[in-house]
Structure 1
Amino acid sequence: MRQHLRLALPPLSALTLDTSITFVQVDREGSAARAGQMSVAELGAQTGSVSVYAILHPDDAIVAGIKVPPVSKQRLDAAVAASIEPMSLSEINELCIAHSSRAADGAVTVAWTARKPLEAAWALLAQAGLNIAAFIPQALALPSGDPRPSEPLALPAGPRWLAPLPGWSLARDDLRPASASGRWRRAIYWSAAAAAVWVIGLSWHAAQLANQVETLQQDMQASVLTAFPKIPVVIDPLRQAQTQRDALRLAGGAAADDDFMPLALAAAQVLVFAQSHVHSMRYEKGLLSLTLAEGYVPPANEAALAQSASAHQLLLQKDQTQPHVWHVRRPAPAQTHAGRP
C-alpha cells in the first residue's frame, strides 16, 4: 500500500478554503501515521504531491447494487445509467456516476452524486494544491458491517478510517480541473502512444471479426427499436424484446400499479415527511423499501399516516429491526375488497 492521505469531507455545498477538514495520513503498512484537523488551504500547503483520497459526506452520494446483462465494456456505462435512471431524483446528465466492473452474476456496485457540486469541490481542492486521487462515497470507505454507516468519519483515527478502498471512484477524468490534470498530461500522452503501438497489431485482426459481430448486433437492435420504439436504450435485444412482448400481452402496454414508478409516485404523496431525506431506496417484486437519512421528523400521528396510505391504496409499514426504514406496497386484492364498505 502506498502512503496517502484520507480526508473526511463536509457536505460539498459548505466546502471553502477555510473549511476545517478531518484527515488521517495512512502509511505503507495501512496504519494511521498521523491524524488531525486543518483548513483546506493548510492541508494543500503541507501535503505536496501525496495522493489524496477524499471521502464524501454520507449525504452527498448514493451507493446501490444493481444487476446488468452481459454487455461490452464500451456499453457498460450506458447500461448502468439506464438502470439507475428510475432510482435517481435528478436528470442523468446532472449526475456524476461511477461503478465497479461487472461480476460474473451481473452484479455491479454503482455510486452517484450531483455533478456540479463535485466539480466545484474538485476545482477548489486543486486550487489549494491537493492531489486528488479519488472521491469515494463513505459507504464504500467503511469496513464491511460497520454499525453506523450514516455517521460521518471523525477522530480518533480508528478502524473506520483504515478499511481497504475500492479501485474506482467518482473522480472522473471529464470533471478533473485543468490545473490538476496538467502535471499528468505528458505522462498520459507517452503512455497512450506506447499503448497505441501495441494495440494496433491486435486491433487489425480483431476488427475483421468485430465488424461481422457489430453488423449483426446493429441489425438486431434496429429490429427491436422498430418493433418497440419506446425502448430508450437497447442493451440486450433478445431479452428486452421478450420483456416488452410479455408486458404488452399481460397489461396491454400499461404499467401495473405495483410497478416501481406508480408505487414510488404514490408513496411520495403519502410520505411527505420524507422529502429531501431519502438516503436510498430498493424495489423488488412490488415492495419499495425507503431508507431515510438521519434528521427527518417522523410523523406524529402514525394512525393518520396509515389512513392516508390506505386512501392511496398503499400498505405502509415501518421496519421493526432497522431504524429509519419504511416499506411500501400495494394491498393484495382480498385486502382491498375487505377494506371497502
Structure 2
Amino acid sequence: MSLLRVALAPLSELHTETPLSFVLLDRQGHVEREGRGILAELAQEVKGRAVEMVLHPSDSLLAELEFPPLPVARLSAAVRCAVEPLILGGSQPMHIAHGPRTEEGKVAMGWVEREKLDGLFHLLARHRLKIRGLYAAPFFLPAGHTQWCACLWDGYMVMRHSIEAGWVHPLPEIALNQMGDPPAGTDLLWLGDAPIERPELAEPAHGAAVALRWTGTAPSWGLLGGDRVSPGDVRGWGKPLVCCAIALMVWVGGLNLHAGRLERQGKALQAQMTMRVQQAFPEIPIVLKPLQQARQQRDVRLAGGGQTAIAADFGRLVQATAEAMPFIAGSVKELTFEDSTLHLTLLQDTSKPPGDGDWQTLLAQVGLVVTDTPAGWRLQARTGESSTATPGEALDE
C-alpha cells in the first residue's frame, strides 16, 4: 500500500493552518513526491493511502533501559516505574509507550503529555485524517543491524540506531562527543546538514540521499494508543442513540412482560380468595370483595344468632346489587353494610353506568332505592319494605 508520511510541528504550536512537511511513498517504499501543506491539504493527499506521522523532536522524549525477562503485562508496569524518575511532575499526565525487549535485554520507551496528544487527535479528527501510526522523531530514518542514521531537525540531533530504538538530543555537539564511534561493522549515515564540529559527516548527504530520511521501516511500537479521538467519533450521536433506543425497547418489553405476569398472578389470587370465601361461607350469594366479606361474616358468627337476620339482609342486598349492576364487577374498592344500608365505594377509574336506566328499574322492582354518592353508590330497602326478592325473582313475577 502507498503511504503518506508527515512530520509534525511542536504540538503546543500546532493548529489548522500550520504548514507541515510530508512525503508520498509508493508501494515499494520509494519517495514519489515531497511537499509542505496544511492539514486540509494533507487530507486531500490521502486518497486511500495509509497515513503515518512523527512527532517533532521537542515532543519526542525517549529512553532505552535494560530489563530482565518479564511477561508483557509486567513489563509495561516495570517500564512505568522506570520512567517515573525521568519525568518531572510524575507520570500520571503522560502517555507512556514502549517497544519489545531485545536480545540484549534493552527496552526502548517514549512518553508524551496526554493533553497535547488528545489535542492532536481532536485536530486530526476535525479534518477526517485517520492515522495508522504515530512515532517519535527518529523513526522515519532508515536503520538496521549494520547502520545508524542521524540528521539535524530544528537544532535537535535525531538518531536512530535500530528498528526499535533511537534518541533525540537538543545539543548536537554534545551528543556527538558522547556518542563516540558506532560499533565495529556499523556505518553512520548522516542525512542533511552536519554539525560544524563534524563537517565530514555531510559527505554522503547530497542529492537523493537526503530523501532517505522518510524511508525507514516503522517500529513495532508507537504513541498512537491511549485516549484518542478517531474521525468516526465526531460524526454525530447516531450510533449511541440507536443503542439507547434498542436498550429502551428491551427494557420496556421486559417491563411489559413483568407487568403481564403480575396481572395474571393477581387475577389468580383473586379467584382463589373468592373460591375459599365461598367454601367457608356458603351463605354469601355472591363475592365482590372477598377479604371484607369474609371479615363481616366472621364478625356475624362471633356475635351469635342475633345477627342472623342482619346477615340475611346483607346477603340479599349484595345479591340484588350484583345481579342488577353487573357493570361494577371488578370496580368495588370498599363494601360497607350499616343500618340495613349497603355502601359501595368504587375505584377512581371506574367507567360510568349505562344510561338506559334498566338496572335502576330492576332494583326498584325488588324494593331497593339506589342513590349516587361522591364515592360510589348507596343501596337500601324502600321504607316499609324488605328486600326479600332478587331482580331475577321480580322479573319472574
The alignment's TM-score, normalised by the length of structure 1, stands at 0.49
Larger Rg: 2
Report which structure shows greater RCO (CA 8 Å, sep ≥6). 1
The alignment's TM-score, normalised by the length of structure 2, stands at 0.42
